[in-house]
Amino acid sequence: MMASFRISGLSKSYGSNVIVDDLDLEIDEGEFLVLLGPSGCGKTTTLRCLAGLETPEAGRIEFKGQAVYDSSARLNVPAHKRSIGMVFQSYALWPNMTVRRNIAYPLKVRKMKDAIAAGRVEETAEMVHCGHLLDRYPSQLSGGQQQRIALARGLSARPDLVLFDEPLSNLDARLRDQVRTEIHRLHESLGFGAVFVTHDQSEAFALGDKLAIMRAGTIEQLGTPDDVYNNPATDYVADFIGMSNRLELRRSATGWQTGDGVDVLVHRDLPDAEAVVARIWPEDVQLHRGNEPLPPHAVALSASLLSSEFGGRHYDVTVAAGSEEFRLRADAATHGSWLRSSTAGEPVAISFRPDQMQVYPLGEVAVDRPLVAAS
């Protein structure tokens, strides 16, 4: 498919701080792209450059083959002339306007009188189940209703590209799921391209046709959710998407050792390096009680139980293997009866298949643990 929106070499600094650093990104027509990264990595700044709310220093932004920003041509098309809708974390509704006027606003700015006359405002309000709220003011709405109105305002002009800046972060868990599903459905029915910013990996996996994992102003990996989940490109990506189990392995005279100096058998070729970092999904780690026999050819470590939390069909279990902590999901049918009466410190073992490890050369890509916080 043709890339409808193309960002190339985009750079934006504040003072001497480079916030967006020579960034390239393409979004296909109708594609839902999720920009995932820790607070402060430049997600909002990138969106604001796309929308024309911020002037970059360098680069080019194209919408459907037409430049809307080009530093070398000194071209910068103003925000209201770009076919873009925006939905913010803070809703940002105009408090002195009714819901009707808020939703109509992008149509008025673009002089879309015919669409207003044809009932576009009412139709869009219905799409977000808020047709009955048109004469209210934002202060007379709940948080969930305000965010639905903000969504309607972002969509009323039927823009080619909709930019979402952490729109679900201020909603409570139940509403967040509902509005997330609504965004998904609206995208399917209206077919707009989307750039959806979040720092929440489950939101990213749930919504994205593609994920772009961002780090310090650049894209560290771009791929489908399946790609990114199964082949995180770097230790940083693995960490950020929740592949939380991390094991450093060092080459010894006879094989491989953990950082604690415990020998481990790894039935697999590893990179030709003195030390590597392995990442393993919690879902891929098996729990073994006491002296239970371990599966052959698995990577196995003895450990002790730290905690287990009931999750319905599973338990979320944390164990310590030497100085490393591992998280895993234990099936409740298999492990529930003993986990329920277990105590911290109980000896266990964990294992995983060697092909379930993602392996990176140690130190090649440093892990800076991201601050997971709303920005």
Ligand X SMILES: Nc1ncnc2c1ncn2[C@@H]1O[C@H](COP(=O)(O)OP(=O)(O)O)[C@@H](O)[C@H]1O
Name the site residues for ligand X (rule: CB under 6 A): 14, 19, 37, 39-45, 375
Residue 11 binds Mg ion (CB under 5 A): no
Minimal distance, residue 60 CB to Mg ion, in Å: 23
Size of the site for Mg ion (CB under 5 A): 3
Residue 169 binds Mg ion (CB under 5 A): no
Minimal distance, residue 170 CB to Mg ion, in Å: 13
Take residue 287 and report the two structure tokens written for it: 């729990």
Q: Of the ranges 40-48, 247-255, 317-325, 361-369, which one interacts with Mg ion (CB under 5 A)?
A: 40-48
Minimal distance, residue 256 CB to ligand X, in Å: 37
Q: Of these, 4, 44, 201, 218, which contacts Mg ion (CB under 5 A)?
A: 44
Nearest Cα residue to 83 out of 184, 9, 190, 212: 190
Which pairing describes strands 193-198 and 32-36: parallel, antiparallel, or unpaired?
A: parallel
Question: Which residue's CB is nearer to ligand X, number 36 or number 357?
Answer: 36
Asked if residues 50 and 160 have their Cβ atoms less than 8 Å apart, the reply is no
Question: Which residue's CB is nearer to ligand X, number 20 or number 127?
Answer: 20
Residue 40 binding target from Mg ion, ligand X, none, CB below 5 to 8 Å by type: ligand X
Q: Of the ranges 37-45, 111-119, 209-217, 331-339, which one interacts with Mg ion (CB under 5 A)?
A: 37-45
Tell me 295's DSSP state. Answer: P
Asked if residues 24 and 214 have their Cβ atoms less than 8 Å apart, the reply is no
DSSP H helices, the chain, are 43-51, 99-109, 113-117, 120-127, 143-155, 173-190, 201-207, 225-230, 235-240, 332-340
Q: Of the ranges 10-18, 35-43, 99-107, 151-159, which one interacts with Mg ion (CB under 5 A)?
A: 35-43
Residue 41 binding target from ligand X, Mg ion, none, CB below 5 to 8 Å by type: ligand X
3-state helix, strand, coil in the chain (%, to 5): 30, 35, 35
Rounded to an integer, what distance in angstroms lies between the CA atom of residue 267 and that of residue 295?
12
Residue 13 binds Mg ion (CB under 5 A): no
Asked if residues 249 and 283 have their Cβ atoms less than 8 Å apart, the reply is no
Residue 33 binding target from ligand X, Mg ion, none, CB below 5 to 8 Å by type: none
Asked if residues 218 and 8 have their Cβ atoms less than 8 Å apart, the reply is no
Question: Which residue's CB is nearer to Mg ion, number 168 or number 317?
Answer: 168
Residue 375 binds Mg ion (CB under 5 A): yes
Residues contributing to the site for Mg ion (CB under 5 A): 43-44, 375
